[in-house]
Amino acid sequence: MDILSMTAVELGKKIRAKEITVREAVQACFDRTTEVEDQVNSFVTLEKEEAFRRAEAVQKGIEEGRFTGYLAGVPVAVKDNLCTRGVLTTCSSKILENFIPTYTAEAVRNLNKAGAVVIGKTNMDEFAMGSTTETSYYGATKNPWNLAHVPGGSSGGSCAAVAAREVPYALGSDTGGSIRQPSAYCGVVGIKPTYGTVSRYGLIAYGSSLDQIGPIARDVTDCAAILEAIASHDVKDSTSVLREDTDFTSALKCDVKGMRIGIPQDYFTEGLDQEIRDAIFAAAECLKRQGAVVEKFDLGLVKYAIPAYYVIASAEASSNLSRFDGVKYGYRTKNYEELHGMYKKTRSEGFGPEVKRRIMLGSFVLSSGYYDAYYLKALRTKALIKKAFDDAFSRYDIILAPAAPQVAPKLGASLSDPLKMYLGDIYTVSVNLAGLPGISIPVGRTSGGLPIGMQMIANCFQEKKLFTAAYTYECLTEKKWVSRWPHLRRNGEDIPAGEKEGREEK
């Protein structure tokens, strides 16, 4: 039985049926990380001892009937900006190189309650700031489909780990596309839920009004089951929303008859890769044949989303990251005299260039004299963007969009020009500004063999529409794009450029 080929829900079923033990599942994941981690670098920390200890406890819990859900006994990886008690949590930054949290993030606690086994913490862009996972202090993660390319970011480690079959599923966080874009680049499924659906307690904050935690997995069914497990109302997060419609797996139906799907024409203009455009139109056609009503429309305001986003996200980041000062936890500079000098040296040595860039910009737009012109202007723009989506959702159930204008770029190609990197977020950031749910699903492969992702966006609290539409697409295409393995060489040699996908399943 090939444990690594199974989705989380499939594996959970086998474990509950006693065909596979939790220990075997965990062992399979660690065997795979041993095989590929030196090539992919998805993880900052692997927690072997703790995972095997936990595996025994969960196995007992399953046998005693305490864990009965989809995810009982299934291994999971967690992005390294989610606090895990007693386990190193770095945010892929030097400033948290030795930080051991004293509590566990609510989303991870919810997974633990469902019987999950955390095997490690995944690599990310430092403090989730970046689109390539290259700003990590612990080295870049590579795209399992082609090791010369980035996995996307900032949840690049989580997406690469799932794509490389190191773990059946992972948690990520999404502030401006950090789940959806790397999911697209790595050919996996990732969803950013409606703001407030998953508690942010224990998520090390970047842009608090935009941050949401979400699942990354190999199919739509897994994502629905995982989101069902992690969604909860939490009094420890004052932006947490009390929802009674979190039975997301009930929406896994192959039926889009009458569903109104809008395609924003202003998303399909110059700058979008032709192969991505074709793949998305093909997917739309596929849903149309199944009875969906597909129409083109103008969303409007598209070019204002990125500038508004970078003002708001940087402003919030400059405030959120002021807590890292070398006093209570993390790195402290070696040579200092007085307090302020200690703060400044600690932060300057502890943060990487991209984080400093955003803290500087955020401090500037919040400073007196510029606050109205930049920060309030961005918040007003956000109100207009929200209204544009409200108008669209009065006519459509779902909006189809690319996840990113290009497929995964080569390593090193993005960092030299930050603005260019930011422009790659054009299809994702407005979803965070408006608090909407968005899912990214694989819909094809370029001629060079890199995955293409399609984003589906719904109105607030309408995740079920996303799951129904995405599940339908998956059924219609017989999971063509999600059931293949990337071709990772076992001995570390590079994959020749242009080589197509590897081992086929079944």
Partner 1 sequence: MANKISDETIEYVGILAKLELSAEEKAQAKSDMETMLDYIDTLNELDTRGIEPMSHVFPVHNVFREDVVENGDQHEEMLANAPQKKEQSYQVPRTFA
Q: Which residues are catalytic?
A: 79, 154, 178
Please state, in angstroms and rounded to a whole number, the distance separating the CA atoms of residues 58 and 113.
Answer: 10
Which phi and psi angles does 205 have, rounded to 5°? -70, 140
Instruction: Using the rule CB under 8 A, give the single segment among 92-100, 137-145, 168-176, 220-228 that binds partner 1.
Output: 92-100
DSSP secondary structure letter of residue 95? G
Task: Determine contact, residues 264/281, Cβ cutoff 8 Å.
Answer: no
In angstroms, rounded to a whole number, what is the distance separating the alpha carbons of residues 488 and 295? Answer: 40
Residue found under tokens 């200092």: 336
Task: Kindly state whether residue 298 participates in binding partner 1, applying the rule CB under 8 A.
Answer: no
Stretch that binds partner 1, among 65-73, 115-123, 127-135, 298-306 (CB under 8 A): 298-306
- Return the number of other C-beta atoms located less than 10 Å from residue 113's C-beta: 15
A 10 A CB-CB count for 340 gives 10
Residues 6+ apart with CB under 8 A from 205: 211, 316, 320
Single residue of 44, 359, 399, 458 touching partner 1 by CB under 8 A = 359
Closer CB to partner 1, 336 or 485, in the complex: 336
Q: Residues near 375 by Cβ (< 8 Å), separated by ≥ 6?
A: 311, 312, 315, 365, 366
Q: Using the rule CB under 8 A, is 234 a contact of partner 1?
A: no
Residue 233 touches partner 1, criterion: CB under 8 A? no
Minimum gap (Å) between residue 326 Cβ and partner 1: 6
254 binds partner 1 (CB under 8 A): no
In this structure, the number of other CB atoms found within 10 A of the CB of residue 443 comes to 28
Q: Does 418 bind partner 1 (CB under 8 A)?
A: yes
Asked if 318 touches partner 1 (CB under 8 A), the answer is: yes
Q: Which stretch binds partner 1 (CB under 8 A): 283-291, 323-331, 438-446, 465-473?
A: 323-331
* Sign of the torsion angle spanned by Cα atoms 430, 433, 434, 439: positive
374 binds partner 1 (CB under 8 A): yes
Residue choice 244, 337, 478, 504 for contact with partner 1 (CB under 8 A): 337
Stretch of residues binding partner 1 (CB under 8 A), selected from 55-63, 118-126, 350-358, 477-485 = 350-358
**Least distance to partner 1, CB of residue 90, Å:** 12
Please enumerate in sequence order all residues whose Cβ is within 8 A of that of 53, keeping only pairs 6 or more positions apart, or say none: none
Work out whether 390 is an interface residue with partner 1 (CB under 8 A). Answer: no
Q: How far apart are CA 211 and CA 199, in angstroms?
A: 10
Smallest gap from Cβ 237 to partner 1, in A, equals 9
Q: Is 399 in the site for partner 1 (CB under 8 A)?
A: no
Of 28 and 421, the one with the shorter C-beta distance to partner 1 is 421
Which string of x and - marks every residue 93-112 that binds partner 1 (by CB under 8 A)? -----xxx-xx---------
Among 1, 254, 282, 327, binds partner 1 (CB under 8 A): 327
* 300 contributes a contact to partner 1 by CB under 8 A: no
Residue 251 has phi, psi (to 5 degrees) of -90, 0
| Structural contact between residues 126 and 80, judged by C-beta atoms closer than 8 angstroms | no
Instruction: Verify binding: residue 386, partner 1, rule CB under 8 A.
Output: yes
Query: Does the footprint of partner 1 cover residue 329 (CB under 8 A)?
Result: yes
When asked if residue 127 is in the footprint of partner 1 (CB under 8 A), the reply is no
Q: Among 178, 127, 220, 148, which Cα is nearest to 486's?
A: 148
Q: How many residues are listed for the chain in this entry? A: 506
State which of residues 1, 254, 282, 384 lies at the interface with partner 1 (CB under 8 A).
384
Name the residue nearer to partner 1 (CB basis): 90 or 249.
90
Q: Which is nearer to partner 1, 102 or 394 (CB)?
A: 102
Residues in Cβ contact with 394 at an 8 Å cutoff, skipping those fewer than 6 apart = none
CA dihedral sign, ordered 99, 100, 103, 107: positive
**Residue 304 lies near partner 1 (rule: CB under 8 A):** yes
Question: Within 13 Å of residue 71, how many CA atoms lie on the same side as its CB?
Answer: 30
Residue 357 found at the interface with partner 1 (CB under 8 A)? yes
| Shortest Cβ 273–partner 1 spacing (Å) | 22
DSSP state letters, 233-292: --TTSTT----S---GGGG--S--TT-EEEEEGGGSSTTS-HHHHHHHHHHHHHHHHTT-
Q: Which of 376, 412, 497, 505 binds partner 1 (CB under 8 A)?
A: 376
Q: Which of 360, 492, 494, 497 binds partner 1 (CB under 8 A)?
A: 360
Answer yes or no: are the C-beta atoms of 46 and 94 closer than 8 Å: no
Q: Which stretch in 63-71, 110-118, 265-273, 308-316 sits in contact with partner 1 by CB under 8 A?
A: 308-316
- Write each residue from 170 to 199 as x if it is in contact with partner 1 (CB under 8 A), else as -, in one continuous string: -------------------------xx---
With CB under 8 A as the contact rule, which of the stretches 7-15, 255-263, 278-286, 332-340 interacts with partner 1? 332-340
**Which contiguous run of DSSP H or E holds residue 318?**
helix 305-320
Interior CA angle at 352 toward 309 and 102, to 5°?
Answer: 90
Residues that bind partner 1 (CB under 8 A): 98-100, 102-103, 195-196, 209, 235, 238-239, 241, 301, 303-304, 306-308, 310-311, 318, 322, 325-332, 336-345, 347-348, 351, 356-357, 359-364, 366-367, 374, 376-384, 386, 418-419, 434-435, 460
